[in-house]
Amino acid sequence: MEKLEGIVEHIVYTNPDNGYTVCLLDCGNGEPVTAVGLLPSTVEGEKLVAAGAWTNHPSFGRQFRIESYEKQLPDGAEGMYKFLSSGYIKGLGPVTAMRLVEKYGEESFNVLSNHPEWLAEFKGISRKRALAIGEDFKLKFGMRDVIMFCSKYFGTAICTKIYKRYGGAAVDLIKANPYMLCDDIAGIGFERVDKMAADLEFPPDAPERVKSFIKHILLTAAYNGGHCYLPIDEITETVARSLEIDPLYAESCMNELAQLGQLVLGSGRCALKLYNEAERFIAQKLASMACCELPFRISGIDDSIAFLEKKYNIEYAPNQKRAIKYATSNGVTVVTGGPGTGKTTVIKAILEIFAASGISFMLCAPTGRAAKRMSEASGNEAKTIHRLLETKFNNKGEQIFVHDRHNPLPYSAIIVDEVSMVDALLMENLLRAIRDGAYLILIGDSDQLPPVGAGNVLSDIIASRVFPVIRLNEIFRQARESLIVVNAHSINAGELPELADKKKDFFFMERQNAEEMTELISQLCKTRLPNRYGIDPKSDIQIITPTRKGPMGTAALNTALQDALNPKEKGKNECKIGSTLYREGDKVMQTKNNYDIPWNADGVDGTGVFNGDIGIIKRLDAHDQTAIIKFDDRIAEYDFSMFEDVDHAYAVTVHKSQGSEYPIVIIPFFDFPPMLMYRSLLYTGVTRAKQMFIGIGKSARLAQMVMNDRKLQRNTTLRELLESIE
């Protein structure tokens, strides 16, 4: 990297959202230099000591792209005046700035910080205005201090969150205990804070570090394994080994966290308070709803079912009738079944009976694609659970829901699809917003993968046997014509799927090495399938794979498919963000919920893009570091700092595909790690295909997955909590 030192002569452009700035630097050797980079709160007159590299922009010529920098306040009267007269400090204009510098010279900044009331000596400046100028000066410099102190470890967006949370005292608070950032600021994990703490020479055996690491272990277990608790002995051993401390010391720190109300200990288990409370509330609320007297009791359900059969000239299967009857006469009902077993038919019948009885209802699902599919299949509006609950932010900047127990949802019945994807925290928030006496119908496929987040809600509810559970297990005639449906049920039963029938919708193409598989996948997506069926490879074909890593992982496949489906072209903007190259026209996925991203849908503005949403990059602007991404139902505006939660989506993992259906699904079968070669993962992937499934690779690996009925064990308490409620 090269170094550059100069005074900010002029701010050409700045993006207030992400701090991206274009400025002219006077380096004292003639013509000013154009410098670009993330330089939040930069002001004319400041001195920058920057590191970066020279680049040639096609439109703006030679520029110095800043990667890291230090700011220094101007130390001469002329520089101070330019800085103070820039308008950066609210209420301080050129005239007052000139008077201040003329009277106090190089002590001007000290006056603003410590004696702002002295400005009242100047004509036209009241004491109130003088104090306000001083407050804004301290506020702005507090923000600058936080960014300068934290920019080595965090991006601008995180630094801004830190300042908003702690204000001007942020740096001192962080120096006293950097680990508080893990608790207080979303998006900050233990590893980054631990690096900061080491640089600050924070004691490696400090209790703050040990306590933070204990919570980090529990959060990692929740995020990576879906666990709501861990055995106490396991945590103690891990902490002692990782931090090289006495196990008794680790246990004492755990007990202190429990006394502070952050952990819950009992029966040899340790849980974070939020997961313990979530499972307890779910159990209590479901039990309450099940025994609550329904204010809208429906009569004549058998007659209604007979009427619907006649109306649509159909005959419901016995289990479908049971599902309709239970759902319209019980507070809590679970309907589960695989593809082709008539879940949608049941939903439509339930909704017709509710509508005829004057019972208000709402359909919801955990993902946007699942909600859209539910809406299309039922002919009624469906929302994501997040949109149904509506989001807002509290005074700490934390996301909360508009609808809760104080402001319940205005519906007498809630029907939730794809419940296998709903984790404990989301289910807790949904149940808090459902009014007493409402109907709750939970619909899902219990044989699919458990949710990405912590908990195993659907499986635990079914296993508890506390509520009516109706299993739809009859494959209907029309569905039996689909080999996708038939093979999915075979896989679920531990039987090898039919691979020889080339006339239907389930195909397997044998290949033995990664190079051949990659080439075939690229050909199918780029030419063979689009030419044969007239489809759009980006919207109609989805590659699904068990892993992110390796030659058949999402990272490698996305690189190959980007080159095949969206190659570099003249006039097509592209930009490297972090270590990833993005290009206009790329298919991408949001990988974490982000409630701050602004969007517009048919003239209606809103915020929030959620985990699993897939879209196409319509515009990339390297100059102001922004992008426009078009999703199914809305257009969202990103700045580049938000791209840490955006991945290419030509290929996605099976977990990320949950809740979605795609016209054509292609899955590679390769030498994946044994922990990923199991039946429910294969079953989940196959059932994502709506019109055609194509397997590519080693049929022996497909057989291996079918034969492995390994169940993902999760540490949850919901089942036993439900069973213990009388």
The model's pLDDT over 248-257, given as tens digits with 9 standing for 90+, comes to 999 999 999 9
Residue 678: per-residue pLDDT: 94
Give the whole-angstrom CA distance, residue 109 versus residue 122: 16
Strands 651-653 and 439-444: unpaired
Helical (H) or strand (E) element with 682: helix 679-686
Give the whole-angstrom CA distance, residue 515 versus residue 517: 5
Retrieve residue 332's tokens: 């809590």
Going by C-alpha positions, the residue among 73, 71, 40, 11 that lies closest to residue 160 is 40
Residue 593 predicted with pLDDT over 80? no
One-letter amino acid of 386: H
- Greatest mean pLDDT among 79-93, 394-408, 606-620 lies in 606-620
Q: What is the pLDDT of residues 643-683, one digit of tens each?
A: 888 999 999 999 899 878 899 999 999 999 999 999 999 99
Give the whole-angstrom CA distance, residue 372 versus residue 384: 9
Q: Report CA 492 to chain centroid distance, whole Å.
A: 30
Mean pLDDT score, 151-155:
77
Residue 157 predicted with pLDDT over 80? no
Residue 92: per-residue pLDDT: 84
Task: Give the torsion sign (CA, 453, 456, 461, 464).
Answer: negative
Q: How many CA atoms lie within 13 A of 493 on its CB side?
A: 11
Q: Is 457 left (phi over 0), alpha (psi -120 to 50) or beta?
A: alpha
**In Å, how far are 40, 85, 128, 149, 684 from 142, measured between CA atoms?**
13, 19, 21, 10, 50
Residue 41 predicted with pLDDT over 80? no
One-letter amino acid of 232: I
Q: Which residues contact 571 (CB under 8 A, 6 or more apart)?
A: none
Give the whole-angstrom CA distance, residue 79 versus residue 98: 11
Q: What is the pLDDT of residues 382-432, one digit of tens each?
A: 998 988 998 776 665 567 899 999 999 999 999 999 999 999 999 999 999
Q: What is the pLDDT of residues 188-204, one digit of tens each?
A: 889 999 999 999 999 99
Give the whole-angstrom CA distance, residue 546 versus residue 697: 13
Give the whole-angstrom CA distance, residue 246 versus residue 239: 9
Mean predicted lDDT score pLDDT of the chain: 90
**In Å, how far are 143, 167, 171, 494, 649 from 162, measured between CA atoms?**
9, 8, 9, 52, 31
Going by C-alpha positions, the residue among 670, 453, 643, 652 that lies closest to residue 548 is 652
Residue 235 predicted with pLDDT over 60? yes
Is residue 111 helix, strand or coil?
helix
Helical (H) or strand (E) element with 442: strand 439-444
Q: Is 167 left (phi over 0), alpha (psi -120 to 50) or beta?
A: left
Q: Which residues contact 646 (CB under 8 A, 6 or more apart)?
A: 582, 588, 589, 590, 591, 629, 638
Residue 20 predicted with pLDDT over 90? no
Going by C-alpha positions, the residue among 150, 146, 147, 200 that lies closest to residue 177 is 200
Q: How many CA atoms lie within 13 A of 130 on its CB side?
A: 17
Query: Contact 653/554 with Cβ under 8 angstroms?
Result: yes
Q: What is the pLDDT of residues 355-392, one digit of tens each?
A: 999 999 999 998 888 888 899 999 999 998 988 998 77
Q: What is the pLDDT of residues 517-562, one digit of tens each?
A: 999 999 999 999 999 999 999 999 999 999 999 999 999 999 999 9
Query: Contact 341/472 with Cβ under 8 angstroms?
Result: yes
**In Å, how far are 10, 72, 320 from 34, measured between CA atoms?**
10, 19, 70
More confident residue, 353 or 436: 353
Residue 726: per-residue pLDDT: 66
One-letter amino acid of 540: D
Query: Contact 49/42 with Cβ under 8 angstroms?
Result: no
**Token match 């989805």: residue?**
542
Burial 117-131 (b: 16+ CB within 10 A, else e): ebbbeeeebeeebbe
Mean pLDDT score, 257-274:
96
Angle at 344 between CA 340 and CA 345, to 5 degrees: 95
Give the whole-angstrom CA distance, residue 14 versus residue 33: 16
**In Å, how far are 454, 541, 553 from 587, measured between CA atoms?**
28, 11, 17
Q: What are phi and psi of 401, to 5 degrees?
A: -105, 145
Residue 490: per-residue pLDDT: 95
Per-residue pLDDT band for 445 (boundaries 50, 70, 90) equals very high
Give the whole-angstrom CA distance, residue 219 versus residue 124: 57
Residue 158: per-residue pLDDT: 80
